[in-house]
Amino acid sequence: MTTTLGRTVVGAARDRPCTLVVCRGCCCGNARKHPRADHEGQLERLRVAAAESGGSVAVRTTDCLGPCGQANVVVVLPSSEGRRRGGRAVWIGWAMGDACTDDIVRWATDGGPGIAEPPPALELQVVRPPGEERRGARGRGRARA
Ligand code: FES
């Protein structure tokens, strides 16, 4: 157990790695939607990077995350340390091609959100999570104090 800034962190949550959540729903990873992308190769590349990271990077897949128009979507979750330093989940859209995959791997192995800055090209692909868009839409038009 570790106590940090008045919060107690127990067990696995203390050491959670930077985690790449790779969407593989109806559109992401679908060769009919994106026939020129090597979806399997991308996933394999991410898994190899995680295996070689010594536990600092993890990869998992998920069903549709929502923003199919921005497929392939990869969400980069901060490690426990990254979260303690203020890092939050970053959603990457149009995550296809070797250069993008390399940038995601580089960022995650450098520490990910809260620890390392994302490569500049990756910053251009950051998309808002669906829930954030809804909250933003509700908040539009409100008067500011
Ligand atoms: S299939 Fe990935 S966002 Fe819908």
Q: How far is CA 113 from CA 38, 48, 49, 108, 124, in A?
A: 26, 20, 17, 8, 15
pLDDT at position 12 is 53
User: Residue 135: pLDDT above 80?
Assistant: no
Minimum-distance ligand 1 atom for the alpha carbon of 25: 1
Residue of 20, 21, 22, 28 to test ligand 1 pocket, by largest number of atoms within 8 Å of CB:
28
Residues in CB range of 47: below 8 A, 6 or more apart: 59
**96 touches ligand 1 (CB under 6 Å):** no
What is the model's pTM? Answer: 0.84
**Rounded CA separation 67/23 (Å):** 10
